[in-house]
Amino acid sequence: MSDTLLTVENLEVQFRSGSSTTKAVNGVSFSLNRKENIGIVGESGSGKSVTATSLLRLIPNPPGKITGGRIVFEDKDLLRLSDKEMRKIRGNEISMIFQDPSTSLNPVYTIGNQIVESIKTHQHLNKKEAKEKAIHMLELVGIPEARKRFSMYPHEFSGGMRQRVMIAIALACNPKLLIADEPTTALDVTVQAQILNLMKDLQHSIDTSIVMITHDLGVIWETCDKMLVMYAGNVVESGTVQEIYDNPLHPYTWGLLDSQITESVSSEEELNAIPGSPPDLSLDITGCPFAARCPFAEEICLKKTPEMIEAAEGHFTACHFQTKEHRLDRKEGKVHDRSNIKS
Partner 1 sequence: MTEAILKVRNLKKHFYLDSPIPFKKSDQSVKAVDGVSFDVFPGETLGVVGESGCGKSTMARLVNQLIAPTEGTVELNGENLVNMNKEKLRVFRKTIQMVFQDPFASLDPRKTVGELIAEPLVIHKIGNKTSRKERVKELLEVVGLRGSHSGRYPHEFSGGQRQRINIARALALNPDVIICDEPVSALDVSVQAQVINLLKKLQKDFNLTYIFISHDLNVVRYVCDRIAVMYLGKIVEMGTYKEIYEDSKHPYTRALLSSIPKESPNEIKERIILKGSVPSPINPPSGCHFHERCPFAMDVCKVKSPELMDVGNGHQSSCHLLELENNPLSDIPIKKKEEEMECH
**Helix/strand/coil (H/E/C) assignment for every residue in the chain:** CCCEEEEEEEEEEEEEECCEEEEEEEEEEEEEECCCEEEEECCCCCCHHHHHHHHCCCCCCCCEEEEEEEEEECCEEHHHCCHHHHHHHECCCEEEECCCCCCCCCCCCCHHHHHHHHHHHHCCCCHHHHHHHHHHHHHHCCCCCHHHHCCCCHHHCCHHHHHHHHHHHHHCCCCCEEEEECCCCCCCHHHHHHHHHHHHHHHHHHCCEEEEEECCHHHHHHHCCEEEEEECCEEEEEEEHHHHHHCCCCHHHHHHHHCCCCCCCCCCCCCCCCCCCCCCCCCCCCCCCCHHHCCCCCHHHHHCCCCCEEEECCEEECCCCCCCCCCCCCCCCCCCCCCCCCC
Q: At what angle do helices 159-171 and 189-206 cross, to 10 degrees?
A: 10
Considering the rule CB under 8 A, would residue 192 count as an interface residue with partner 1?
yes
Considering the rule CB under 8 A, would residue 43 count as an interface residue with partner 1?
yes
The answer to whether the CB of 306 falls within 8 A of the CB of 318 is: yes
Q: Closest distance between partner 1 and the C-beta of residue 21, in Å?
A: 20
Q: Which amino acid is at 165?
A: V
Considering the rule CB under 8 A, would residue 295 count as an interface residue with partner 1?
no
Among 262, 284, 313, 334, binds partner 1 (CB under 8 A): 262
Q: Closest distance between partner 1 and the C-beta of residue 114, in Å?
A: 21
Among 61, 103, 106, 242, binds partner 1 (CB under 8 A): 242
Considering the rule CB under 8 A, would residue 343 count as an interface residue with partner 1?
no
Among 20, 197, 247, 286, binds partner 1 (CB under 8 A): 197
Q: Which amino acid is at 51?
A: T
- Which range touches partner 1 (CB under 8 A), out of 60-68, 108-116, 183-191, 334-342? 183-191
- Which range touches partner 1 (CB under 8 A), out of 62-70, 274-282, 306-314, 318-326? 274-282
Considering the rule CB under 8 A, would residue 160 count as an interface residue with partner 1?
yes
- Which range touches partner 1 (CB under 8 A), out of 116-124, 145-153, 175-183, 194-202? 194-202
At 287 the three-state DSSP class reads coil
Considering the rule CB under 8 A, would residue 216 count as an interface residue with partner 1?
yes
Among 27, 68, 69, 218, binds partner 1 (CB under 8 A): 218
Considering the rule CB under 8 A, would residue 152 count as an interface residue with partner 1?
no
Among 63, 109, 193, 299, binds partner 1 (CB under 8 A): 193
- Which range touches partner 1 (CB under 8 A), out of 15-23, 59-67, 85-93, 267-275? 267-275
Considering the rule CB under 8 A, would residue 339 count as an interface residue with partner 1?
no
Considering the rule CB under 8 A, would residue 161 count as an interface residue with partner 1?
yes
- Which range touches partner 1 (CB under 8 A), out of 2-10, 91-99, 240-248, 324-332? 240-248
- Which range touches partner 1 (CB under 8 A), out of 88-96, 122-130, 132-140, 157-165? 157-165
Binding interface with partner 1 (CB under 8 A): 43-44, 158-161, 188-194, 196-197, 215-219, 221-222, 241-242, 245, 255-256, 259-265, 267, 270-275, 277
